[in-house]
Amino acid sequence: MAKTACTVPTTQIILDEEIYPRSSVYPKRISMFAENMRDGFKIDPVEVQIHPEYDDKYRILDGAHRWHAYKEIGATEISVLIIALDGLDPLIYAAKKAIGPLQLTEDEAGTTARRAYENNPRLISFEIGQLDLKIFRMNRLEISQKRIAKRLGQARETIRNHLAKMPELANQPKANLSRGFTVAQVAEKHGWTEPLVWSIALEGKNDLDRFKALNWGLRTWDMWNWNDCDKRFGDDWPGRIPAQMIAHILYYFSDQNDLVFDPMAGGGVVVDTCLAFNRKCWSFDMDDRPDTRPEIEPCFWDITNLKWPIKGKTKPDLIIFDPPYFKKQSNNYDPDGISGMSKANYLKFLESFFALVHLNAKKSIQMAFINADWRDFQNTPAKNETRVNSILINDYLWILNQSGWQKTHIFQAPLSSERFKANVVSAMQKKKIIGVTSRYVIISKIITH
Ligand SMILES: C[S@@+](CC[C@H](N)C(=O)[O-])C[C@H]1O[C@@H](n2cnc3c(N)ncnc32)[C@H](O)[C@@H]1O
């Protein structure tokens, strides 16, 4: 892309709304630039292109606020960089430059994407069928053709025919990514989920580069806390866990292309994060959502008849098991699930489940079991609490050991305490009640003697 630095008269510069990605300019920012100019600071040149209709005019690609500031201080000439875009859409180029301290708002980014697609018929994709997309997603997670066919109610022959088209399916989103559209814009345009777009946007990258691209810092120590769940991954779900936590489990305890198994998948944050980190994933839940989450296969883990749901030789490398934390959120889950059980049955279920995994997994498997202390603290001052109703992390560690697992690591991954209202906190303090924000990720291996 050729760039020529020069000076041109202010009057030859135009702000063309056709290619301006913001909804307006910000007077405060103009005043700030004007003040800096008056104080003699060097300002970056405004980026322009030769106007496609008027030879003697230039239109702004980047630097509208600087241009306004030049006019405000009465400058008659402006330093510019004349850019030859070589066929790149000027609107997309302008949107891409709108980074730094004043990024585009979500609305502006969405509108820019739509405008750019309208201007560029060659960017318009053929309507990709929802069936193709479901197959594409499930295939990328290495769910077998047989299971895809069963899940989508299609003949295996049909799935095979669709699979043949799969390599082409990613071409258009890839092309749009390389033209500078963001992952969110490409997802919106093609009706893909964001994690699926991330899976192609990050192809070929190592895990550390994936962390960087997603703007997530990597924790080196055994304390993992995040203020919030990253909304790009997983659905709004009771007991949703942060994708950043899953990414850390994947980074430290698996490799790219490994197979991850998620028996109680809920809103799908594990499977979404696996897409972004190039892991295969099989996930299950009793809550069945075939339209929006075909990759989460329906499965009810029945304590009276616990069975491994998948036949065949392929075995997972890592299990990420995030069950309901006993009664926490029980009002939001199906009462037939394990949060509807008594304490004794809940613990018995976990023990049988750990034993079932032990029996069906390869010997090198690791399991990340996520849970929290459960204490019957409502209205009970700390010194009056007893162990009758509580389940503490020690109990889980003991059960794991009983069923053939050995803890190798334990991470503290606390829940945010900010969701408690000030009046509730104040009442707890007066009554000397201790709340629970602890949450742990216990990593275990199979005991081999
Ligand atoms: C804590 S949530 C998982 C949340 C998930 N990790 C997320 O971030 O969205 C636990 C899930 O276990 C499921 N569940 C509970 N008992 C079950 C059972 N017996 N069989 C299958 N799923 C069950 C619930 O439907 C719920 O979605």
pLDDT exceeds 60 at position 317:
yes
Q: What is the pLDDT of residue 298?
A: 97
Mutate which of 264, 319, 349, 369 for ligand 1? The one with the most ligand atoms within 8 Å of its CB, which is 264
Q: What is the pLDDT of residue 103?
A: 65
Q: What is the pLDDT of residue 124?
A: 40
14 CA to centre of ligand 1 in angstroms? 57
Q: What is the pLDDT of residue 101?
A: 59
User: Which atom number of ligand 1 is nearest to the Cα of residue 262?
Assistant: 6
pLDDT exceeds 50 at position 128:
no
Q: pLDDT exceeding 90 applies to what percent of the chain?
A: 65
Tally of CA atoms within 13 A in the half-sphere of 193 that contains its CB: 26
pLDDT exceeds 90 at position 44:
no
Residue nearest to atom 9 of ligand 1 (CA): 267
Among 69-78, 80-89, 398-407, whose mean pLDDT is lowest?
Answer: 80-89
Q: Please report the domains of the chain, with CATH numbers, ordered by start residue.
A: 3-122 (3.90.1530.10), 125-201 (1.10.10), 207-446 (3.40.50.150)
Residue nearest to atom 27 of ligand 1 (CA): 266
User: Which atom number of ligand 1 is nearest to the Cα of residue 300?
Assistant: 20
Q: If you average pLDDT over residues 344-357, what whole number do you get?
A: 97
Q: What is the pLDDT of residue 237?
A: 93
Mutate which of 233, 244, 273, 285 for ligand 1? The one with the most ligand atoms within 8 Å of its CB, which is 285
Q: Which residues, in sequence order, are bridge partners of residue 78?
A: 8
pLDDT exceeds 90 at position 346:
yes
The Cα 96–Cα 179 span in angstroms is 10
Q: What's this model's pTM, rounded to 2 decimal places?
A: 0.74
Q: If you average pLDDT over residues 383-390, what whole number do you get?
A: 90
User: Which atom number of ligand 1 is nearest to the Cα of residue 329?
Assistant: 1
User: Which atom number of ligand 1 is nearest to the Cα of residue 320?
Assistant: 6
82 CA to centre of ligand 1 in angstroms? 57
User: Which atom number of ligand 1 is nearest to the Cα of residue 323?
Assistant: 10
Name which residue leads in pLDDT, 419 or 288: 288
Q: What is the pLDDT of residue 115?
A: 74
Q: If you average pLDDT over residues 72-85, what whole number do you get?
A: 91
Q: Which pLDDT tens digit goes with each residue over 259-312?
A: 999 999 999 999 999 999 999 999 999 999 998 999 999 999 999 999 999 999
The Cα 418–Cα 225 span in angstroms is 13
Residue 422's CB is within 10 A of a number of other CB atoms, namely 7
Q: What is the pLDDT of residue 46?
A: 93
Mutate which of 333, 350, 352 for ligand 1? The one with the most ligand atoms within 8 Å of its CB, which is 333
The Cα 45–Cα 78 span in angstroms is 8
| Block residue for tokens 């258009």 | 172
Pocket of ligand 1 (CB under 6 A): 234, 237, 239-241, 264, 266-267, 269, 285-287, 299-301, 322-324, 333-334, 337-338
289-293, long-range: CB < 8 A, 24+ apart: 290/151, 290/152, 292/235, 293/235, 293/268
284 CA to centre of ligand 1 in angstroms? 9
The helices-and-strands tally (H runs, E runs) of the chain is 16, 12
Q: What is the pLDDT of residue 125?
A: 39
370 CA to centre of ligand 1 in angstroms? 12
243 CA to centre of ligand 1 in angstroms? 16
The Cα 94–Cα 73 span in angstroms is 25
Torsion angles phi and psi, residue 369, rounded to 5 = -105, 125
Task: Name the band, by pLDDT with cuts 50, 70 and 90, for residue 117.
Answer: low
Q: What is the pLDDT of residue 241?
A: 94
240 CA to centre of ligand 1 in angstroms? 10
Question: Is there a contact between 399 and 351 (Cβ–Cβ < 8 Å)?
Answer: yes
Among 18-27, 52-61, 273-282, 384-393, whose mean pLDDT is lowest?
Answer: 18-27
Question: Is there a contact between 77 and 10 (Cβ–Cβ < 8 Å)?
Answer: yes
Q: What is the pLDDT of residue 127?
A: 34
Among 114-118, 231-235, 270-274, whose mean pLDDT is lowest?
Answer: 114-118
pLDDT exceeds 60 at position 163:
yes
pLDDT exceeds 80 at position 160:
yes
Residue nearest to atom 1 of ligand 1 (CA): 324
Q: What is 74-99 written as a DSSP string?
A: T-SEEEEEEE--TT--HHHHHHHH--
**Torsional sign, CA 93, 98, 99, 105:** negative
Spatial strand order of the sheet with 3-9 comes to 3-9, 77-83, 46-50, 58-62, 13-14
Q: Which pLDDT tens digit goes with each residue over 10-42?
A: 999 999 888 888 888 888 889 988 998 888 888
385 CA to centre of ligand 1 in angstroms? 28
Task: Name the band, by pLDDT with cuts 50, 70 and 90, for residue 132.
Answer: confident
333 CA to centre of ligand 1 in angstroms? 8
Contacts of 99 by beta carbon, 8 Å cutoff, 6+ apart: none
Among 134-143, 331-340, 384-393, 413-422, whose mean pLDDT is lowest?
Answer: 413-422
